[in-house]
Structure 1
């Protein structure tokens, strides 16, 4: 990968979405306080119900700032905005794995505010993410886990060309999907 981080590199637009660095949000006029308030809004109980404890009950500015700090330490994360109104509606989390032959595997997760569910934005987002990965030229696969009862996310992954890669036997009800890119290894 280039010398810039995934977070710095991961920016793209789709028909209705703009994806880019969360830190750029703060630099472009959204204060840290406004960003923390948006985190609280997005991380509703329905959005986080299948996620680990550190993702639950984010209801105060302090909790939101701690959550942001933890995400920054463990992953590269970017914001998802509705382009028409320039409003943050979710996040994508990217995790780099070791590279073989200069090609990388990425793990990812994403969250969308429940108020935008059912509008096709998940499919649009993941389609855009796939196109971004292809354009990078050094990513050989991208994979993510989903709860087996999260039919909407499963449909998004299958509709955009992902296939089942593994089932997590340690954690019942979790399945992993993967998208392989053509690389010249």
Structure 2
């Protein structure tokens, strides 16, 4: 394992997607404003309905920049872009679970813009994340929660090999899924 953070290490492409640290976008002209505009565009009420208050009603550049900074402080924050157009269409958030080895147990969350729902990109994204974890070789498990009525995300997780978590207990509203790696 290198001394790089998981955010620095996690970068991958799939057939249609490119995933990397949000800071990679800051190298482009007008990048901070462009990323903030994308946050506003992506975080629609349908996308954020089950998320905490700090994820709701992001409608200004300043509010979006604050949201970006908060995500960066609490997680390893990655952008999901379409390879063909380089447009940001979503985000992945990686969290290190409490563990003796820093990266062997990761929690994650993801969200995609409504305009790309139903096109197989969620499945492609999660398959890409799984493949990246396998290539890393030191990640034993990834897990994440999903609202019990979010049938689309549940199908994505189940289709990509996730099973109901044996570690995380579900709540009335949230079901947890995990993927175990053989290392």
TM (norm. structure 1) is 0.94
Alpha carbons of 1:65 and 1:179: their partners in 2 closer, same or farther (altered >3 Å)? Answer: same
Distance across 2 between alignment mates of 1:178 and 1:140: 10
5 Å-filtered alignment, 1:75-90, equals: 75-90=75-90
- Say if 2:96 and 2:102, in contact at 8 Å, map to a contact too: no
Query: Counterpart of 2:118?
Result: 118
Q: Which runs of 4+ in 1 moved over 4 A?
A: none
How many residue pairs get aligned? The number is 181
Partner of 2:170: 168
TM-score by length of structure 2 reads 0.95
**What RMSD in Å do the two structures reach over aligned CA positions?**
1.3
Question: What is the Cα deviation at residue 69 of structure 1?
Answer: 0.8
Superimposed CA distance per residue, residues 119-162 of structure 1 (whole angstroms, 9 cap, x where no aligned partner): 00000000000000000011000000000100000000000000
Query: What 5-or-longer segments of structure 1 have no aligned partner?
Result: none
- Give the Cα separation in 2 of the matches to 1:101 and 1:118: 37
SS at 1:109 equivalent = strand
- Equivalent residue, structure 2, for 1:97: 97
Unaligned 5+ runs, structure 2: none
Seen in structure 2, the aligned counterparts of structure 1 residues 29 and 111 have a Cα distance that, compared at 3 Å, is same
